[in-house]
């Protein structure tokens, strides 16, 4: 055979002998081999990944076919309804054709593919690089158990990128947090927000450590990022997975499955106030809540949209009976926006009653919308009824994607167990699932939750807080192992 890719005399002789049936056989073989090659070059599932865009492999194959004057009749790629089933396996027709095929034809095609291997590989790699999505992720592992749990989350995200083949994660670590504060007097660099602005997402561990006042560690980093990047939605799933511990009696696992949408940019955490007459008997502190129409409307609308999309009920939680300005305003906006969503079934609860129902009847909640402070408290309660702090994640979203969104486990830096390999990283891994959802890989997001559930049910690799003996650093790999199967 010639090495130019053109047909040699030998090849021509074989082709000359081939009848129409042979041509069909060769086409079928060609398709099968295309799959085999795509998979051998890029791993399982590669033909479909390449197929998302016009595939370089396919183009190269087509060229190869044309060079060799094979019939193009059955050469439509599978994603265009071609001759193979979508599993990549041969269809019955193909199998029948293959049963009749002679080995010689296969050998010829194999040889042609071999000759083209380098060209195919190069073209595929070029194409793949040009279509592959790279997510730039800023990592602030922070204090205490932060770095331990984040390291597992990174492992999982990188592993998933490898399994998917269509995207990759590029991490940039920032050494900010309490250590940084003790050295520099700041929780993050002065131009920290500027540095973070260009990233697709921020992955945060936890901040806060003895020796630095909590209001300094929280205000100097977490709240600054949330406010600075207008991450006005805080999304916290409260879902009891199979196998997760629940302290409530007489509650079925499926009864705890809600998503709390917490206002994340203003309200009670707006940090407006003053300290007056310090050190005198008249000393006083003023702290004002800020509830703007824009701020309330956008979070409430987000919750209505979510409830509508997922065909769920929506509960607003406020405190209009005692907070006669801010919360009455909130309730009014909840009603006004609701007029645009007649299909969404709603209810309004006072926060004290809602806390009681979180414990007594969590099944009544599906989508919940509430203010910054109430959301903060209720979601810790939510974490407590749905497996504990080691299983609670939160996403700080800037839905317009003008700025990066931030994904974090909701627990703190747990100084009592830091550095001992005892921390449960499942909440940090759950945040990876939220990040994948936000990037549009909802399928992977769901699979990560399913994998966490499998881990909990199998009980083979769990950290001590969940009754196991595994180390923090065992969990990422255990999740990936489940995802691989």
Strand 167-173 versus strand 133-142 pairing type: parallel
3-state secondary structure at position 210 = coil
| C-alpha dist (Å) from residue 379 to 252, 259, 437, 450 | 19, 9, 20, 21
Interacting residues with ligand NAD (CB under 6 A): 145, 149, 206-209, 214, 217-218, 222, 389-390, 408, 411-417, 423-424, 427, 465
Residue of 173, 234, 164, 238 lying closest to 199 (CA atoms): 173
Nearest distance, CB of residue 417 and ligand NAD, angstroms:
5
Q: Which is nearer to ligand NAD, 337 or 466 (CB)?
A: 466
Tell me the C-alpha distance between 75 and 84, whole Å. Answer: 10
Residue 278 or 467 having the CB closest to ligand NAD: 467
Beta strands in 26-150 (DSSP E): 133-142
Q: How far is the CB of 380 from ligand NAD (least distance, A)?
A: 9
Question: Closest separation between CB of residue 416 and ligand NAD, Å?
Answer: 5
Q: Find the shortest distance in angstroms from Cβ 465 to ligand NAD.
A: 4
Q: In the bound complex, what is the minimum distance in angstroms from residue 428's beta carbon to ligand NAD?
A: 8
Which of residues 65 and 145 has its CB atom nearest to ligand NAD in the complex? 145
What the block records as the tokens of 41 is 């070059």
Shortest Å, Cβ 180 to ligand NAD: 14
Q: CA triplet 306, 312, 313: central angle to 5 degrees?
A: 105
What is the number of other CB atoms lying within 10 angstroms of the CB of residue 430?
Answer: 28
Contact 181, 212 (CB under 8 A): yes
CB neighbourhood size of 123 (10 A): 17
CB-nearer residue toward ligand NAD: 251 or 384: 384
Single out the residue of 269, 291, 170 nearest to residue 222, CA to CA: 269
């Amino acid at each position: 055979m010639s090495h130019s890719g053109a047909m040699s005399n030998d090849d021509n002789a074989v082709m000359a002998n081939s009848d129409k049936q042979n041509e069909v056989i060769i086409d079928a073989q060609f398709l099968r081999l295309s799959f085999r090659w795509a998979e051998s070059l890029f791993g399982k599932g590669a033909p479909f990944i390449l197929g998302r865009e016009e595939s370089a492999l396919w183009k190269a194959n087509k060229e190869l076919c044309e060079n060799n004057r094979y019939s193009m009749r059955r050469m439509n790629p599978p994603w265009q309804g071609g001759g193979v089933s979508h599993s990549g396996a041969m269809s019955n027709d193909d199998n029948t054709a293959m049963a009749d095929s002679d080995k010689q034809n296969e050998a010829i095609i194999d040889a042609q593919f071999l000759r083209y291997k380098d060209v195919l590989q190069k073209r595929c790699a070029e194409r793949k690089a040009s279509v592959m999505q790279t997510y730039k992720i800023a990592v602030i592992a922070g204090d205490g158990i932060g770095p331990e749990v984040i390291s597992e989350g990174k492992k999982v995200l990188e592993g998933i990128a490898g399994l998917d083949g269509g995207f990759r994660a590029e991490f940039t670590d920032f050494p900010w947090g309490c250590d940084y504060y003790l050295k520099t007097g700041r929780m993050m660099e002065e131009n920290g927000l500027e540095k973070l602005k260009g990233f697709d997402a921020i992955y945060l561990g936890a901040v806060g450590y003895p020796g630095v006042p909590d209001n300094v560690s929280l205000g100097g980093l977490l709240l600054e990022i949330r406010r600075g990047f207008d991450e006005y939605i805080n999304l916290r799933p409260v879902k009891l997975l199979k196998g997760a511990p629940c302290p409530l009696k007489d509650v079925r696992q499926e009864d705890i499955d809600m998503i709390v949408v917490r206002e994340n940019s203003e309200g009670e955490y707006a940090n407006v106030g003053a300290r007056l007459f310090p050190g005198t008997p008249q000393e006083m502190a003023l702290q004002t809540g800020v509830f703007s129409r824009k701020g309330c409307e956008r979070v409430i609308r987000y919750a209505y949209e979510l409830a509508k999309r997922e065909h769920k009920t929506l509960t607003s939680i406020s405190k209009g009976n005692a907070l006669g300005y801010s919360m009455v305003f909130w309730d009014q906006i909840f009603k006004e926006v609701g007029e645009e969503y007649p299909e969404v079934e709603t209810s309004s609860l006072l926060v004290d009653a809602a806390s009681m129902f979180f414990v007594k009847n969590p099944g009544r909640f599906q989508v919940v919308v509430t203010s910054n402070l109430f959301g903060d408290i209720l979601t810790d309660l939510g974490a407590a009824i749905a497996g504990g702090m080691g299983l609670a994640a939160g996403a700080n979203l800037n839905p317009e994607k003008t700025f990066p969104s931030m994904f974090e486990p909701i627990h703190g830096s747990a100084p009592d167990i830091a550095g001992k390999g005892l921390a449960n990283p499942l909440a940090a891994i759950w945040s990876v699932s939220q990040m994948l959802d936000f990037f549009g890989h909802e399928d992977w997001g769901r699979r990560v939750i399913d994998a966490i559930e499998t881990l909990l049910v199998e009980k083979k690799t769990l950290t001590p807080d969940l009754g196991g003996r595994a180390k923090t650093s065992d969990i990422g790999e255990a999740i990936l192992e489940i995802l691989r199967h």
